[in-house]
Amino acid sequence: MKKTNAVRKPKTEAKAKPGLGEGYELTVSSPILLSQGSDREFRRLVHNLFGFLARHEAIREGHGAFIDLAGIEYTVLISIAHLSAESDVSVRDVAEHLHLSGAFVTTVTNRLLAKGLVAKRTDPTDRRRLCLTVARQGRDLLATLAPTQRQVNDVQFEGISAEEFRTLSNLIERLIDSSGRALSLQRYLAENARASTPAKLPARRAG
The answer as to whether 202 is a domain residue is: no
**The residue count for the chain:** 207
Does residue 203 sit within a domain? no
In a domain, 9, yes or no: no
Backbone angles phi, psi at 132, to 5 degrees: -110, 140
In which region does residue 198 sit, left (phi positive, over 0), alpha (psi from -120 to 50) or beta (all else)?
A: beta
Residue at 14 is within a domain: no
Rounded to whole angstroms, the Cα distance separating 100 from 10 reads: 65
58 and 135 within one domain = yes
In 3D space, the residue among 60, 109, 63, 117 whose CA is nearest the CA of residue 89 turns out to be 109
Distance, CA of 83 to CA of 73 (rounded, Å): 15
Three-state secondary structure call for residue 201? coil
pLDDT score recorded for residue 129: 77
In the 3-class helix/strand/coil scheme, how is 39-69 assigned residue by residue? Answer: CHHHHHHHHHHHHHHHHHHHHHHHHHHHCCC
Confirm if 39 and 23 have CB atoms less than 8 A apart: no
Alpha helices in 99-135 (DSSP H): 102-114
Residues 41 and 123 reside in one and the same domain: yes
Cβ atoms 38, 19 nearer than 8 A: yes
- Whether residue 138 contacts residue 112, with contact meaning beta carbons closer than 8 Å, is answered with yes
Instruction: Please give the residue range of the domain that contains residue 188.
Output: 160-194
Please give the tally of structural domains in the chain.
2
Residue 24 domain-assigned (yes or no): no
The verdict on 69 and 102 lying in the same domain is yes
- Asked if 79 and 138 touch (Cβ cutoff 8 Å), the reply is no
Query: What is the pLDDT tens value at each position of the chain, 207 positions in all?
Result: 444 555 444 444 333 334 444 568 999 999 999 999 999 999 999 999 999 999 999 999 999 999 999 999 999 999 999 999 888 899 999 999 999 999 999 999 999 999 999 999 887 777 677 899 999 999 999 999 999 999 999 999 999 999 999 999 999 999 999 999 999 999 999 999 888 877 665 666 655
Condensed to tens digits (0 to 9), the pLDDT of residues 61-96 reads: 999 999 999 999 999 999 999 999 888 899 999 999
Residues in contact with 98: Cβ distance below 8 Å, sequence separation at least 6, in sequence order: 75, 76, 79, 105
What is the widest separation between alpha-carbon atoms in the chain?
A: 112
80 with 166, same domain? no
- What pTM did the predictor assign? 0.77
Kindly report the backbone phi and psi dihedral angles of residue 129, in degrees, each rounded to the nearest multiple of 5, phi listed first. Answer: -105, 135
Same domain, 70 and 147: yes
